[in-house]
Structure 1
Amino acid sequence: MARYIFITGGVVSSLGKGLMAASLGALLQARGYKVRIRKFDPYLNVDPGTMSPYQHGEVYVTDDGAETDLDLGHYERFTGVPSRQSDNVTSGRIYQTIIAKERRGDYLGATVQVIPHVTDAIKEFAQADTDDLDFVLCEIGGTVGDIESLPFIEAIRQLRNELGRDQTISIHVTLVPYITAAGELKTKPTQHSVRELTALGVQPDLLLCRCEKPLPEGERRKIAQFCNVRPEAVIQALDAPSIYTVPLQYHGEGLDQEVLRAFGIDSSDQPDLSRWYDINDRHANPEGEVTIGVVGKYVGLQDAYKSLHEALVHGGMANRVKVNIRWLDAELFEEDEKDIAARLEPMHGILVPGGFGERGSAGKIASVRFAREHDVPFFGICLGMQMACIEAARNTSGITNASTTEFGEAEEPVVGLITEWMSDEGLQKREQGGDLGGTMRLGAYPAKLSENSHVASIYGVSDIDERHRHRYEVNNSYVDRLEKGGLIFSGMSPDGELPEIVERPDLSWFVGVQFHPELKSKPFAPHPLFASFISAAVEQSRLV
């Protein structure tokens, strides 16, 4: 039977609960345990799919088509365990499920209440599909004391009683701020946060204390006394130079040992951390560097492209180089061609990522043209591939009015709304003007690669499976005209209906993909497209 680790946060948000959960999962894996990590989000959106990236960061898509919190990306990148629909639940989804049951009459006329109906639904999600696991890590989003998170805290209180203290533990992530004027670390915020959590019926077994200065032994014992935990269970979490040093840092502080001790499990055997030592060696000791220009729409917030950022770093690890990422606002490229050249000439590679809406599209198309005309390695992802197709249509295939119906009516709709496609569940249909949430082509879909194509040599196989998140597709009725202009369609859906990959064989490295390869990249298994792209950027750097 699986053991449960409940992770809460206090004092302030953004303390790194997700990274802590991912790191602990990796450490338990390194000891031979099977783990799964789940995220409970208190907000009322059913999922983050309709939220602005500036509100919530990127939307992480799973193989089974769930739009989830970006923390699930950390979970996958650190453990390699593919996330599922059941690994992320929101208050909105909980209430949607309960209200649907109430409307059907499933509650047989009973009054529907937070306790027991909402808390029971939360507990069901926590315990679903866990039969083959050793540990389930459940991260509760938000901060203890928030009104929205109260049902989740109550649910884990109930679960701890129902499953027993030998099968559940609670870890509270908190802040120990350093007051510069006083020259001291202050423990009072942690004391108050733990008191708040304890008042809700959950006594933490371990405290992970985020701090920018080392936590003295006196302060550690003070926290332990006031918060009713053992001094060894107060773990300091100093700021790290890289997220990939965090598992090693937490192991050095004894986090995994204390977790096993709390469960009464022998922790004398040491974990196999060779994978993480290799990752950190590659990251900390590069043998060169390249600069990649990311021409995007949401560059004001790095979390909007979190998986993309990490995939580029992984590509650097694969080539033992440091990747310097320059986030370039596509809107700045829409007027002055000289400005475009000045900004892009120093780049060893140009990447146009996914996005929605017309804003910045002209700048993205201009960036594609610059990459093509100057033979700079180019990588287009989702909307980036579509912009590459529109650029090709306008400038190499003679379709001067080429555009996408996403931006309005188009005389030459090279890109249009996808209305039908095949999935494991059968034929999927969508209509213009329908709901936005959950109505895209979502999740993993197969594609076939053309023999002797560039991408086939990169993947080393002819059949691939990648994750999608989009409503619009390149119109395959334009394929022949685009190929006559030099843009080759080297990857298609198995039925030959949906273009998946384009490339230009006449250039050193020019690839556009309709899917999101960054979602499958990991530090110990860099995605082949990113590894190849950075390799091409290394070659470009030698020419500049």
Structure 2
Amino acid sequence: MTKYIIITGGVVSSIGKGITSASIGRILRTYGLKVGAIKIDPYLNWDSGTLNPYQHGEVFVTYDGMETDLDLGHYERFLDVELPGMSNITTGKVYQSVIDKERKGDFLGACVQIIPHITDEIKEMIRKIPESDDYDVVLVELGGTVGDIESQPFLEALRQLRNEEGHENLMFVHVTFVPYLGAAGEFKTKPTQHSTKELRSTGIIPDMIVCRSEKPITKSLKEKIANFCDVPEFAVINTPNATTIYEVPLIMEKENVGEYVNKRLNLNLTINPSNLDNWKKTVESIKKDSPEVTIGVIGKYIELEDSYISIKEALIHGAAANGIKVNVEFINSDVDSLDEKKLSKLNGILIPGGFGERGIEGKLEAVEYAIVNNIPIFGICLGMHMMVIQFARRNGLEKANSSEFGEKLKSPVIDMMEEQKKIKNMGGTMRLGAYECKISPDSLAKAAYKEDTVYERHRHRYEFNNDYKEKLTSHGLKLSGTSPDDFLIEIVELDDHPWFLGCQFHPEFKSRPDRPHPLFVSFVKAAYDTQYSKN
């Protein structure tokens, strides 16, 4: 029977519920369990696809084409799994499903209410995950904080789920923040006490409290929290700020989290801490201080680094695989922010995906700088478009551009996909999810992947315009990755450059700390080798 671990949060948002959930899952996975994960987002949006990155960070795309919360990226990276899109539950999905059922007459004329119809739908969606795969444990993270109005139906559904599944099959983990007041010179536990009280008022009693803090808290503070929150002292877990998020499973395992979960859920596991040895080696490689390489990410959402969280993590993975440390510099792509002084400090340039015209000229300038100065450059989705446009402008098509940025262009080397032209709705209508890509021999991509065919995740409406294929290839642009029928261009390269590769897909979504993506490994190595050769 599938076991459930429900993770709630209190005090403040963005305290690390996702990392806590993923870390618990990583610990359980090293014990041989098959672990799945669910992220509940209480907003009314159907999915994350139309959310502004400034508000919610990056949009993570699953293999089956769902635009989801970024925490699914953390789950996939820590658990080394590919989660289905239904692992992201939103209020919008729940209410739409219930209304659709009501319109079909499924409720036989009943007055449709929050309880039982909405709560039953939430429980049904949660249970679909273990039904879809044979998971031993499913992690369920509830977004937001306890006390949020929009979270109340979910808390009630989770309370009911505990009663229906049984005490031995479901446990609650509450993540809180323990602030340190410099003026008083001490930590304060009152926010945790109030947050736990708020949770208990919904009928949910936490089995474990994870206390986030800037620095480690003392044993006496744990005792105080245990007494006031009515949990065993050994179930009060402290996760102070770590050097890297990948260190959190090691911190939690030192506090015997795996052993406690094993007993609480009657998992009957043979606990062997040495199972985390491989993970520990990965963490040590990520924490390496030298040698260093500096990669510039040229984007327009740099004020919130979570907008590019998967790219940043994939660069870290690629650097660790090469035995080096990567310094990621986020550079605003607005033209005024781009100057040679900033670019000259970079060993490599990465242009990520995105939408809209703002910041485009700055990205094109970055491509030009990389070409002229032989700096390794990696373009992802929109980044590939920038590479194609700038290459075209350098080779006889001075007005080259993308039809995303204007109509009636003279040289639309990037154009809207044919099947996208009749679509009116914005949400969930792009080319989404994993598609097959055929790799050409004697290419950077082939050297990196060491495979002839790969499957990568997409999120785009615009593509390389085949009307310009002959013109651009005649000037040296190599089309090294295509759809199986050779129609869609997936990867472009330049042979006479240290490392110039653009891809239409998003490889960052498949990178793992202990299984880094080949393109990121190759790119970071090229950036370091280029730096070494110059020195």
Q: TM-score range by the shorter chain?
A: over 0.9
Length-normalised TM-score, structure 1? 0.95
What residue is the counterpart of 2:352 in the other structure? Answer: 353
State the shift of 1:266 in Å: 4.5
Task: Name the amino acid aligned to 1:442.
Answer: L
> Cα deviations across residues 178-237 of structure 1 (Å, max 9, x unaligned)?
122222221111111111111101111111111223322222222212212111111111
Looking at structure 1, the residues matched to 71 and 177 of structure 2 have their Cα atoms a distance apart, in angstroms, of 20
What residue is the counterpart of 1:36 in the other structure? Answer: 36
What residue is the counterpart of 1:449 in the other structure? Answer: 439
What residue is the counterpart of 2:125 in the other structure? Answer: 125
Tell me which stretches of 4 or more aligned residues in structure 1 moved more than 6 Å.
none
What residue is the counterpart of 1:423 in the other structure? Answer: none
Q: 1:298 aligns with which of 287, 301, 307?
A: 301
Length-normalised TM-score, structure 2? 0.97
What residue is the counterpart of 1:511 in the other structure? Answer: 501
Q: What are the within-5 Å matches in structure 2 for residues 73-222 of structure 1?
A: 73-131=73-131, 132-222=134-224
Task: Name the amino acid aligned to 1:352.
Answer: I
State the shift of 1:314 in Å: 0.6
State the shift of 1:432 in Å: 4.8
State the shift of 1:394 in Å: 1.0
What residue is the counterpart of 1:405 in the other structure? Answer: 403
State the shift of 1:377 in Å: 0.5
Looking at structure 1, the residues matched to 262 and 335 of structure 2 have their Cα atoms a distance apart, in angstroms, of 53
Task: Name the amino acid aligned to 2:33.
Answer: Y
The answer (yes or no) to whether the contact 2:31–2:269 under 8 Å persists in 1 is no
Looking at structure 2, the residues matched to 246 and 488 of structure 1 have their Cα atoms a distance apart, in angstroms, of 43
The answer (yes or no) to whether the contact 1:392–1:485 under 8 Å persists in 2 is no
Task: Name the amino acid aligned to 2:46.
Answer: V
The answer (yes or no) to whether the contact 1:286–1:320 under 8 Å persists in 2 is no
Q: Provide the aligned C-alpha RMSD in A.
A: 1.3
What residue is the counterpart of 2:476 in the other structure? Answer: 486
> Cα deviations across residues 106-137 of structure 1 (Å, max 9, x unaligned)?
22221111111111111011111315111011
The answer (yes or no) to whether the contact 1:15–1:174 under 8 Å persists in 2 is yes
Looking at structure 2, the residues matched to 333 and 542 of structure 1 have their Cα atoms a distance apart, in angstroms, of 30
Looking at structure 2, the residues matched to 286 and 215 of structure 1 have their Cα atoms a distance apart, in angstroms, of 27
Task: Name the amino acid aligned to 1:34.
Answer: K
State the shift of 1:269 in Å: 2.3
- Is 1:289 matched up with 2:292? yes
Task: Name the amino acid aligned to 1:417.
Answer: M
Q: Percent identity?
A: 51
Unpaired runs of at least 5, structure 1: 421-429
Task: Name the amino acid aligned to 2:125.
Answer: F
What residue is the counterpart of 1:17 in the other structure? Answer: 17
The answer (yes or no) to whether the contact 1:178–1:212 under 8 Å persists in 2 is yes
What residue is the counterpart of 2:416 in the other structure? Answer: 417
State the shift of 1:284 in Å: 2.1
Instruction: Describe the SS at the equivalent of 2:415.
Output: strand
Instruction: Describe the SS at the equivalent of 2:284.
Output: helix
The answer (yes or no) to whether the contact 1:176–1:211 under 8 Å persists in 2 is yes
Looking at structure 2, the residues matched to 228 and 348 of structure 1 have their Cα atoms a distance apart, in angstroms, of 53
> Cα deviations across residues 403-444 of structure 1 (Å, max 9, x unaligned)?
111112122211111123xxxxxxxxx335611100000000
What residue is the counterpart of 1:315 in the other structure? Answer: 318
Q: What are the within-5 Å matches in structure 2 for residues 454-465 of structure 1?
A: 454-465=444-455
Looking at structure 1, the residues matched to 387 and 170 of structure 2 have their Cα atoms a distance apart, in angstroms, of 51
Aligned residues: 530
What residue is the counterpart of 1:394 in the other structure? Answer: 393
Task: Name the amino acid aligned to 2:469.
Answer: V
State the shift of 1:268 in Å: 5.6
State the shift of 1:286 in Å: 4.3
The answer (yes or no) to whether the contact 2:258–2:271 under 8 Å persists in 1 is no
Instruction: Describe the SS at the equivalent of 1:503.
Output: strand
State the shift of 1:275 in Å: 1.9
State the shift of 1:103 in Å: 2.1
Greater shift, 364-373 or 308-317, is seen at: 364-373
Greater shift, 372-381 or 138-147, is seen at: 372-381
Greater shift, 122-131 or 278-287, is seen at: 278-287
Structure-2 change in CA distance of 1:453 and 1:214 (3 Å): closer
Looking at structure 2, the residues matched to 446 and 267 of structure 1 have their Cα atoms a distance apart, in angstroms, of 39
- Is 1:376 matched up with 2:366? no
> Cα deviations across residues 153-174 of structure 1 (Å, max 9, x unaligned)?
0001000001110111001001
Structure-2 change in CA distance of 1:13 and 1:242 (3 Å): same
The answer (yes or no) to whether the contact 2:335–2:361 under 8 Å persists in 1 is no
- Is 1:524 matched up with 2:522? no
> Cα deviations across residues 28-63 of structure 1 (Å, max 9, x unaligned)?
011111100110110111111001100100000000
The answer (yes or no) to whether the contact 2:384–2:504 under 8 Å persists in 1 is yes
The answer (yes or no) to whether the contact 1:333–1:362 under 8 Å persists in 2 is no
The answer (yes or no) to whether the contact 1:59–1:70 under 8 Å persists in 2 is yes
Unpaired runs of at least 5, structure 2: none
Looking at structure 1, the residues matched to 251 and 359 of structure 2 have their Cα atoms a distance apart, in angstroms, of 41
> Cα deviations across residues 336-376 of structure 1 (Å, max 9, x unaligned)?
xxx63222122111111100000011111111111112111
Instruction: Describe the SS at the equivalent of 1:21.
Output: helix
The answer (yes or no) to whether the contact 2:347–2:376 under 8 Å persists in 1 is yes
State the shift of 1:454 in Å: 2.0
Instruction: Describe the SS at the equivalent of 1:538.
Output: helix
